[in-house]
C-alpha cells in the first residue's frame, strides 16, 4: 500500500493573462491567517518586482505556502504571458494538481488553452475557478461549457473531466459552488476544502534514496545560485553530501549548505525536508534547471525538463551615439557583458552569444515582452545601450528553412472584421476560425508568421480604435512564407543637424509627418525625429530659428502652438524600428536613430543595395 503525506498539497495556479491568478493567491494568503492582524500586506503581494507591480503582470513564478486544517498547501503563482510559458511548464512538474482560473466574461483564451494543455499532459488533477463572478455581463454557465469543450478538445481523460467548479470573486475574497452571485460566501472556504478533497497528496517515500530536481532558479549575492524544486523521493538534510547529475550527464559532488522552505511570503530556513516538499537549496555553484540531486552512491537522474527555445533575437550594442555617456551610469562593454551574464543565472529561456565585435552581443529570447523587460530593467539600473530591431530565429528542419508561427486570437467589434482580416492577410496570416458571439463581438483565430506580428499592435489598435483585444502564443515552426511579411509602411524624418529643436522649425515641417520630439529637445544628426507621410525617408533641419529683424509686422507674431509630439514607450519604439535603425536606451531617454548617422554615407550604402 502506497503511503501518502496527507498533511501536504502542492498546487499551481494557471490562467490567461489578467484572469486574476495573483489576486486570488492574495486572498488565499490573507484568509489563511498566516499574517499577524497588524501586518501590512500589499495587494498582489506576490508580484514583488517593480515592473510586475506597474504593469499588473506576473513575470516570474512565485512560491508561497499556507496552513489550512493542519495541512500545508504549497501554492505556485505562474505567469500568464506566452513569453514566460517555459516557466509554467517547469512549475507543473513540481505539483500534483492545478487551479485553472477563467474569467467569467472572457471565457477560454489562447493562454488558457496553452496552460491547460501543459497541465493535462502532466496528468495533473484540475479544479476550475470561474473568477470575477460579480463582473457585469458575467456568463458563468456558458464559460463552464467552454471550459468543458476545451478539456474534451485537449483529450482529457475521464478522471480529469470530472473537475469540480467553484465560482469566486478573487477581488472580494468570496466563493461558492453555485453560479448565482447571491450565494457567494464571505470566504474562500469552499476552495480550500476543494483543494484538500480533490488534489492528490504526495507519495511519502522518505525512506528511499534522495531524488530532487531543480525547476526554478534564484540568485543571491551572498550564496550565489539557488535551486528551487521538489523532493520526489527520500530525505534531504543540511550538511548532507550529495551528487548533482548535470544536464550533459556529468556528475559533481557538493554539500547542502543551506535549505529553505516557504511559508506566506517568507523563506524559512529548515534543517530537513522530505519527499513531496518544495524547497530552495544553496551551496552548489552553477546548478541549473532540470539537474537532479541524489546520493553519490545511488545516481539516478529524473527525466529532463523541457526548456522553451528562444524564437526572437536582437543585437545589444554599446551606445556610440553623440549623446553616449551623458545620461547613464554603466556604459562600457564590460559592464553590459557582466549584466547580461548575471541575467543568465536566473533566466533559462535567454541566450547571449558574442559577435565579431567586442561591443555587441546577440541576445535571444521568447518574445518581444521577454526582451523588452530585460532592457527596461537594465535602463532602470542605470545602463545605457543600443538595440537593433527584433528578428525571428529561423531553423533548418529536414533541410527546409522554417520560421516560428504564432496562433493569434483576436476579439473585436463586428464592424472592424473586414479591415483586420485584410491586414492579417497582408502579413501572410491564415484564418482558422471565426466565431460570432451574437453580442456584436467577433472572435477570429489565425496562424501568422511571428515576424508578421512584430510591430503589428500599433496598427491593430488604430484599426480597431482601441476596442480590439489581441493574444498570441507560439504554435510551431513551418516553412518560411514567401515575400515581404509585415514591416513599417512609412519612411521616417531624420535630423540633419546637431542642436536643439525649435518651435519655428517644427511649425514649418509639421505637414511632412508626425513629430517624435517637442520644441527644446536636444537632437543630433542621424536621429529619427518623426514619421514621414510618404514611404521614403526624408532628412530635415529642426534646429533652424526664425530670423529676427527690426521690422514690426502689422499682424505681429502670433503665439506659436505646435502639435503634441508622439512620445513612444520602450515597447512601441522596439516595434517601430526599421532594419537600418537602432533604439538608443538610457535611464532618461528612448531615442531612435539611423545605424549610419551621416546622410551622405547612408545614401551611398542605399545606392549600393
Query: What is the per-residue pLDDT across 229-257, written as a single tens digit (0 to 9) for each?
Result: 888 888 888 888 888 888 878 888 888 88
Same domain, 194 and 233: no
Residue 269 in marked binding region: no
Measured over the CA atoms of residue 578, residue 581, residue 586 and residue 588, the dihedral's sign is negative
Q: In the listed set 261, 294, 327, which residue is the last one of a domain according to the structure? A: 294
* Residue 572 forms part of a structural domain: yes
| pLDDT for the residue numbered 528 | 92
* Residue 390 forms part of a structural domain: no
pLDDT in tens, 312-356: 899 999 999 999 888 888 889 899 999 998 888 777 778 899 999
Same domain, 123 and 243: no
- pLDDT, mean over the chain: 82
As a dihedral over the C-alpha atoms of residue 76, residue 78, residue 84, residue 87, rounded to 10 degrees, the angle is 20
Lowest mean pLDDT among 56-70, 103-117, 124-138, 497-511: 56-70
CATH code (residue 248) = 2.40.30.10
The whole-angstrom separation of Cα 397 and Cα 480 is 11
* Residue 361 forms part of a structural domain: no
| pLDDT for the residue numbered 50 | 60
CATH code (residue 510) = 2.40.50.250
Residue 416 in marked binding region: no
CATH code (residue 416) = 3.30.70.240
Same domain, 171 and 242: no
34 band by pLDDT with thresholds 50, 70 and 90: low
Q: Are the CB atoms for 72 and 88 separated by under 8 Å?
A: no
Q: Are the CB atoms for 455 and 486 separated by under 8 Å?
A: yes
Rg (CA), the chain: 27
| pLDDT for the residue numbered 45 | 46
Same domain, 160 and 241: no
Same domain, 65 and 181: yes
How large is the average pLDDT for residues 289-315?
83
Residue 22 in marked binding region: yes
| pLDDT for the residue numbered 36 | 45
Cell triple for 497 = 543637424
How large is the average pLDDT for residues 558-564?
69
Q: How would you class 315 by CB atoms within 10 Å of its CB: exposed for 0-12, middle for 13-18, buried for 19 or more?
A: middle
* Residue 45 forms part of a structural domain: yes
Residue 23 in marked binding region: yes
Q: In the listed set 479, 504, 521, which residue is the last one of a domain according to the structure? A: 479
Residue 520 in marked binding region: no
pTM across the whole model: 0.76
How many C-beta atoms surround the C-beta of residue 253 within 10 A?
Answer: 10
CA angle 430, 432, 438 (to 5 degrees): 125
* Residue 367 forms part of a structural domain: no
76 band by pLDDT with thresholds 50, 70 and 90: confident
pLDDT above 80 for 576: yes
CA 17 from centroid of its chain's CA atoms: 10
The whole-angstrom separation of Cα 408 and Cα 390 is 19
* Residue 318 forms part of a structural domain: no
pLDDT in tens, 414-429: 888 888 888 888 888 8
Same domain, 86 and 191: yes
Same domain, 29 and 177: yes
Cell triple for 571 = 515597447
Residue 133 in marked binding region: yes
For 417, phi then psi, to 5°, come to: -55, -50
**Residue range of the domain that includes 24:** 8-198
Specify the number of domains making up the chain: 4
pLDDT in tens, 520-529: 889 999 999 9
CA angle 131, 133, 139 (to 5 degrees): 105
The whole-angstrom separation of Cα 103 and Cα 169 is 10
CA 174 from centroid of its chain's CA atoms: 29
| pLDDT for the residue numbered 37 | 46
| pLDDT for the residue numbered 582 | 92
* Residue owning grid cell 525536508: 273
pLDDT in tens, 432-468: 888 887 777 888 889 998 888 887 877 787 788 878 8
* Residue 77 forms part of a structural domain: yes
The whole-angstrom separation of Cα 376 and Cα 154 is 37
Amino acid at each position: 500500500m502506497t503511503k501518502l503525506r496527507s498533511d501536504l498539497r502542492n498546487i499551481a495556479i494557471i490562467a490567461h493573462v489578467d484572469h486574476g491568478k495573483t489576486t486570488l493567491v492574495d486572498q488565499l494568503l490573507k484568509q489563511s491567517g498566516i499574517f499577524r492582524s497588524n501586518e501590512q500586506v500589499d495587494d498582489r503581494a506576490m508580484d514583488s518586482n517593480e515592473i510586475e507591480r506597474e504593469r499588473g503582470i506576473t513575470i516570474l513564478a512565485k512560491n508561497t505556502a499556507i496552513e489550512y486544517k493542519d495541512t500545508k498547501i504549497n501554492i505556485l503563482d505562474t505567469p500568464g504571458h506566452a513569453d514566460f510559458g517555459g516557466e509554467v511548464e517547469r512549475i507543473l512538474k513540481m505539483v500534483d494538481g492545478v487551479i485553472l482560473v477563467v474569467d467569467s466574461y472572457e471565457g477560454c483564451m489562447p493562454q488558457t488553452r496553452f496552460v491547460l494543455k501543459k497541465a493535462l499532459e502532466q496528468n495533473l488533477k484540475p479544479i476550475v475557478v470561474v473568477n470575477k463572478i460579480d463582473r457585469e455581463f458575467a456568463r458563468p454557465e456558458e464559460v463552464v461549457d467552454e471550459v468543458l469543450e476545451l478539456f474534451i478538445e485537449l483529450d482529457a481523460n475521464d478522471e480529469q473531466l470530472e473537475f469540480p467548479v467553484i465560482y469566486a470573486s478573487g477581488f472580494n475574497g468570496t466563493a461558492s459552488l453555485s453560479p448565482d452571485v447571491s450565494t457567494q460566501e464571505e470566504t474562500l472556504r469552499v476552495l480550500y476544502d476543494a483543494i484538500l478533497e480533490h488534489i492528490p497528496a504526495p507519495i511519502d517515500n522518505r525512506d528511499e534514496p534522495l531524488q530532487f530536481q531543480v525547476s526554478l532558479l534564484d540568485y543571491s549575492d551572498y550564496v550565489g545560485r539557488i535551486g528551487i524544486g521538489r523532493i520526489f523521493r527520500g530525505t534531504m538534510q543540511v550538511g548532507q553530501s550529495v551528487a548533482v547529475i548535470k544536464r550533459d550527464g556529468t556528475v559533481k559532488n557538493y554539500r547542502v549548505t543551506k535549505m529553505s522552505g516557504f511559508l506566506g511570503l517568507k523563506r524559512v530556513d529548515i534543517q530537513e525536508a522530505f519527499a513531496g516538499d518544495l524547497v530552495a537549496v544553496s551551496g552548489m555553484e552553477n546548478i541549473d534547471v532540470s539537474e537532479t540531486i541524489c546520493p553519490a552512491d545511488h545516481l539516478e537522474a529524473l527525466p529532463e525538463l523541457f526548456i522553451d527555445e528562444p524564437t526572437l533575437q536582437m543585437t545589444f550594442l554599446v551606445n556610440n551615439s553623440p549623446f553616449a555617456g551623458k545620461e547613464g551610469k554603466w556604459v562600457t562593454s564590460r559592464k553590459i557583458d557582466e549584466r547580461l551574464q548575471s541575467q543568465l543565472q536566473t533566466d533559462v529561456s535567454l541566450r547571449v552569444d558574442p559577435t565579431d565585435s567586442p561591443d555587441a552581443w546577440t541576445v535571444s529570447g521568447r518574445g518581444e515582452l521577454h526582451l523588452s523587460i530585460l532592457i527596461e530593467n537594465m535602463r532602470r539600473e542605470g545602463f545605457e545601450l543600443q538595440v537593433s530591431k527584433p528578428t525571428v530565429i529561423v531553423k533548418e528542419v529536414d533541410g527546409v528553412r522554417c520560421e516560428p508561427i504564432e496562433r493569434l486570437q483576436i476579439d473585436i467589434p463586428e464592424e472592424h472584421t473586414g479591415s483586420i482580416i485584410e491586414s492579417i492577410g497582408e502579413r501572410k496570416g491564415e484564418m482558422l476560425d471565426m466565431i460570432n458571439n451574437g453580442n456584436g463581438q467577433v472572435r477570429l483565430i489565425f496562424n501568422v508568421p511571428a515576424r508578421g506580428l512584430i510591430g503589428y499592435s500599433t496598427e491593430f489598435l488604430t484599426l480597431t480604435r482601441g476596442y480590439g483585444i489581441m493574444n498570441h502564443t507560439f504554435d510551431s515552426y513551418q516553412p518560411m512564407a514567401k515575400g515581404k511579411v509585415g514591416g513599417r509602411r512609412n519612411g521616417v524624418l531624420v535630423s540633419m543637424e546637431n542642436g536643439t529643436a525649435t518651435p519655428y522649425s517644427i511649425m514649418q515641417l509639421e505637414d511632412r509627418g508626425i513629430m517624435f520630439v517637442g520644441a527644446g529637445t536636444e537632437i543630433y544628426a542621424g536621429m529619427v525625429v518623426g514619421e514621414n507621410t510618404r514611404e521614403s525617408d526624408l532628412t530635415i533641419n529642426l534646429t533652424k530659428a526664425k530670423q529676427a529683424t527690426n521690422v514690426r509686422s502689422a499682424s505681429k507674431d502670433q503665439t506659436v502652438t505646435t502639435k503634441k509630439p508622439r512620445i513612444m514607450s520602450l515597447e512601441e519604439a522596439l516595434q517601430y524600428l526599421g532594419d537600418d535603425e537602432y533604439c538608443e536606451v538610457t535611464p532618461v531617454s528612448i531615442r531612435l536613430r539611423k545605424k549610419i548617422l551621416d546622410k551622405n554615407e547612408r545614401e551611398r550604402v542605399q545606392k549600393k543595395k
